[in-house]
């Protein structure tokens, strides 16, 4: 018998079964922004050149075991979910348009201005990781 890592596939000498389980594991550094991540967070994960990235939700926030004295890493398991109209595939940010209104330019591309050094925007909304 052979189980492949987090793919939902089961292989035996006589048959192969795919259960449709599509999960991935990610490791993120612990900091003041990643400590706030929980099951409500979604991510777009795929090749940067891919037009439509796959959407994942944080299904298992494993925050114990990889930290010591406030430093370390978090290990998360993400479950594939459907993408939504609120996802910004151009920037690769899930739920982007829930927090920032859609602004289009003449060529219908989103106009985006983000200063990564700012903690909050002028209207009080927090910026992305």
Q: Output the tens digit of pLDDT for each of the chain's 129 residues.
A: 444 455 555 555 565 555 556 888 888 899 999 889 888 899 998 888 887 889 999 988 777 788 888 889 988 889 999 999 999 988 889 999 998 887 655 555 666 665 555 555 555 555 555
Cα–Cα distances in Å, from 47 out to 50, 53, 106? 5, 7, 27
Q: What is the pLDDT of residue 127?
A: 53
Are 112 and 121 a contacting pair, CB within 8 Å?
no
Among 5, 11, 66, 8, smallest CA distance to 34 is for 66
For 36, the 3-state DSSP assignment is helix
């Amino acid at each position: 018998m052979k189980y492949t890592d987090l793919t939902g596939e089961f292989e035996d000498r006589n048959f192969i079964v795919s259960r449709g389980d599509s999960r991935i594991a990610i490791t993120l550094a612990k900091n003041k922004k990643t400590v706030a991540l929980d099951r409500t967070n979604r991510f777009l994960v795929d090749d940067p050149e891919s037009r439509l990235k796959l959407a994942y939700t944080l299904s298992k926030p494993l925050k114990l075991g990889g930290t010591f004295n406030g430093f370390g890493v978090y290990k998360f398991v993400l479950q594939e979910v459907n993408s939504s109209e609120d996802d910004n595939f151009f920037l690769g940010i899930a739920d982007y348009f829930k927090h920032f209104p859609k602004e289009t330019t003449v060529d219908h591309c989103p106009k985006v201005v983000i200063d990564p050094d700012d903690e909050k925007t002028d209207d009080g909304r927090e910026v992305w990781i």
